[in-house]
Structure 1
Amino acid sequence: MNDVNDFFSFRNTVNNVSNNDEQKTANYLEPVMAFARTTYKSIYIIDYQKKGFEYVSDNPLFLCGHTAEEVQEMGYAFYFKYVIEGDLNLLLKINEAGFEFYERIPTEDRKNYTISYDYHLKNQEGKTILINQKLTPMFLTNEGKIWKALCIISLSAEQQAGNITIYKKGDNKLFKYDLEGSFWRTSERIKLTNREKEILLFSTRGYTISEIAEAIFVSPDTVKFHRRKLFDKLDVTNISEAIAYATNNKLI
């Protein structure tokens, strides 16, 4: 694999953009940049017509020693340099499976879907981190092709690469991709109880178990009980992983 075009599926070829399409994007980057200033996550805008990045936010954790401008200039060559070899093939599979899935969605619904997946980045010192990437369409062409997409990158709460999931805004269904069988499984999104959400929110503020118990008028043992149930539900081993998982999957 030695060509950035490998990342751009024939299913979503964007050759021409109409004047009407162009008008939709007037000054749209201003609110994107404002949002980027308020979050620790990294924000990218992918342009499928130009086959590159239109915008990269300035988040050092995910830039592998480069400036945001350098990564934007590198475009998909960045992946060839900093994604581990096995995960490059994974990203290709995700592109293929994702665009095949989007082809089956009615055009009017396509902007309501988000795809999420995990892969390893290696920094300039050769150390690797597992990151989560969420991609959702921002602008479609008149033919329903994805022209520009918003990409949000954060540290993953998972243990390994993959975890390819598509979900629709306002829908409780999840579509998980089976890499071995090359098909999508349908499941229900995880639902947290109000108490579990409460404990997570206090935990994000740095509260200890005793402090949470005092704040919600229960015993520390009750907090511990709900935390254990929460860890089992999210398949994590500690509160930091639970917070990361719940945040990445918009459970709180």
Structure 2
Amino acid sequence: MKINSNSTLLTKNHIGKISDEERPEQNDYLDAVRAFARLTYESVYIINYETMTFEYVSENPLFLCGYSPDEVMKLGYEFYFKNIPEDDLILLNTINELGFDFFKDLPGEEKIQYSITYDFHLVNGDGKKTLINHKLTPLLLTKDKKMWKAMCIVSISHHKTSGNIYIYKQGSNETWALDLKDKRWHKSEKPRLTNREIEVLRLYAQGLSINEIAAKVSVAPDTVKYYRRQIFDRLNVSTIAEALSYAVNSKIM
């Protein structure tokens, strides 16, 4: 399968022309998006599915691949074809197809509560690849509940390979993982950590050593190691970096 700039990559969500009566509903939300971008270390950008363009791109260099925000906005979808390896473009095409099929079948206003996260590579200007985590959530819906605009957040992935595709619902323990072999979404519940395990993970996030964590929670260092093993087993990860990434993305901590 060859992916090129004439393909339907990430364009399955065709919404047509937005009516004049719908437009006042969007208000001037970009000021709030800009304020959020100033406060986060992550890259932020907005997709407009009516025009199939980027409506806003933050200044964080991670997503820019050596371009300026204005240059990325002008490139729009062409940016993907210039800066994503062929294998990952094929992956994104699959995510696009199956993700919007999932979204289409959700009930009305409930659609706004869902988000999707996945990993793929960006190629920088020097040719080096960086594995990033990409999150997308609806920002505005059309009157017939299609996704009009979406907010995207880009950060460094703590995984080792592309994929890792999950859908989450706000305020729910339910999650859906995409199996790329059978191309189906499989529903499960988020793993649960005990209060003590969450406490230990938060102390790791502060950069504390095992001995420092042990002193903080008044246990022996070997007990902290036990909690760490439990965290790894529950989250199905092998490093603290992966555990933190999973816990943050899944809103466990």
Q: Deviations over 1:8-38 (max 9, x none)?
A: 444x322211233211222101111111111
Q: Deviations over 1:86-130 (max 9, x none)?
A: 000110111100111111101121101111111111111221111
Structure 1 residues 128, 100: closer, same or farther in 2, change over 3 A?
A: same
Structure 1 residues 227, 103: closer, same or farther in 2, change over 3 A?
A: same
Structure-2 residue corresponding to 1:167: 168
Structure 2 residue 27 is matched with structure 1 residue 3: no
Of 168-177 and 14-23, more deviation after overlay is shown by 14-23
In 2: Cα distance, 1:246 partner to 1:149 partner: 23
Structure-1 residue corresponding to 2:229: 228
Post-superposition shift, 1:158? Answer: 1.8
Structure-1 residue corresponding to 2:137: 136
- Listed as ranges, the matches of 1:73-84 within 5 Å are 73-84=74-85
Q: Deviations over 1:75-96 (max 9, x none)?
A: 1111111111100011011110
In 2: Cα distance, 1:64 partner to 1:40 partner: 16
TM-score by length of 2: 0.94
Structure 2 residue 25 is matched with structure 1 residue 24: yes
Structure-2 residue corresponding to 1:119: 120
Structure-2 residue corresponding to 1:195: 196
The alignment's C-alpha RMSD in Å is 1.4
Unaligned regions of 5+ residues in structure 2, if any? none
* Alignment: residue pair count: 251
Report SS of the residue matched to 2:193.
coil
TM-score by length of 1: 0.95
Structure-2 residue corresponding to 1:186: 187
Structure-1 residue corresponding to 2:44: 43
Task: Supply the AA of the counterpart residue of 2:34.
Answer: M
Post-superposition shift, 1:235? Answer: 2.6
Task: Supply the AA of the counterpart residue of 1:67.
Answer: S
Report SS of the residue matched to 1:134.
strand
Report SS of the residue matched to 1:58.
coil
Task: Supply the AA of the counterpart residue of 1:229.
Answer: Q
Post-superposition shift, 1:4? Answer: 5.6
Report SS of the residue matched to 2:171.
coil
In 2: Cα distance, 1:196 partner to 1:126 partner: 40
Structure 1 residues 39, 67: closer, same or farther in 2, change over 3 A?
A: same
In 1: Cα distance, 2:175 partner to 2:35 partner: 30
In 1: Cα distance, 2:156 partner to 2:249 partner: 9
Q: Is the 8 A contact 1:64 1:123 kept in 2?
A: yes
Report SS of the residue matched to 2:39.
coil
Task: Supply the AA of the counterpart residue of 1:130.
Answer: L
Structure-2 residue corresponding to 1:33: 34
Task: Supply the AA of the counterpart residue of 1:154.
Answer: S
Report SS of the residue matched to 1:185.
strand
Structure 1 residues 73, 162: closer, same or farther in 2, change over 3 A?
A: same
- Listed as ranges, the matches of 1:135-154 within 5 Å are 135-154=136-155
Task: Supply the AA of the counterpart residue of 2:97.
Answer: E
Unaligned regions of 5+ residues in structure 1, if any? none
In 1: Cα distance, 2:237 partner to 2:61 partner: 27
In 1: Cα distance, 2:49 partner to 2:220 partner: 54
In 2: Cα distance, 1:244 partner to 1:99 partner: 25
Structure-2 residue corresponding to 1:87: 88
Q: Is the 8 A contact 1:156 1:245 kept in 2?
A: no
Post-superposition shift, 1:218? Answer: 1.2
Post-superposition shift, 1:168? Answer: 0.9
Report SS of the residue matched to 1:19.
coil
Identity rate, percent: 48
Report SS of the residue matched to 2:167.
strand
Post-superposition shift, 1:5? Answer: 5.9
Of 112-121 and 13-22, more deviation after overlay is shown by 13-22
